[in-house]
Amino acid sequence: MRAVVQRVNRAEVRVNGSVTGKIEKGILVFLGVGEEDETRDLDYMAEKVANLRIFEDEEGKMNLSVIDVGGQALVVSQFTLYGDCRKGRRPSYSSAARPEKARSMYEKFMDILRRDYGLHVEAGIFQAEMEVDLVNDGPVTLLIDSRKTF
């Protein structure tokens, strides 16, 4: 499982001109599910994302998590995080999970953030063509891979 996590002042996602998810201060998570991902990848990613210390404390050090600051999460499914660009000019997505599995893992990821970490979670629409607007705070952008390939 892969994620791009951005610390944001605000973010929203629209489908066909309608807002499907909108947050204020918090994190925007682009989430990709791999064909080999299992429950352990899901648990690792949810715990990591919820507890990343990427918000500043009173001394200006990145020492607080989205939970600590009472922030929100906007989660957008993005299979292109599994795009392999090493050969040719067209990315291969052969390592991305099939839609049925990816949808299930995406929904479970958000459920874990809500249930286990108490986060307010908004979302895009799985497999929809989406427009995402955000104001990156910092900017702070992190890449996470549950298999720790980077």
CA distance 8 to 72: 10
Quote the DSSP letter at residue 79.
Answer: G
Catalytic residue among 6, 55, 78, 109: 78
Predicted confidence at residue 150, as pLDDT, reads 84
Residue pointed to by tokens 């995080």? 81
Q: Is 109 a catalytic residue?
A: no
Catalytic residue among 30, 55, 72, 79: 79
Catalytic residue among 72, 80, 109, 150: 80
Taking 90 as the threshold, does the pLDDT of residue 70 lie above it? yes
Q: Are 36 and 82 in contact (CB under 8 A)?
A: no
Q: Are 2 and 49 in contact (CB under 8 A)?
A: no
CA distance 48 to 87: 31
Q: Is 127 a catalytic residue?
A: no
Rounded to two decimals, the pTM is 0.97
Q: Is 78 a catalytic residue?
A: yes
15-52 pLDDT, tens digit per residue, is 999 999 999 999 999 999 999 999 999 999 999 999 99
CA distance 21 to 75: 9
For domain 2-145, the question of CATH label 3.40.640.10 is answered with no
CA distance 110 to 101: 14
Residues in the chain: 150
Work out the pLDDT band at 137, boundaries 50, 70, 90: very high
Q: Is residue 110 within a helix (H) or strand (E), and if so which, with residue range?
A: helix 99-117
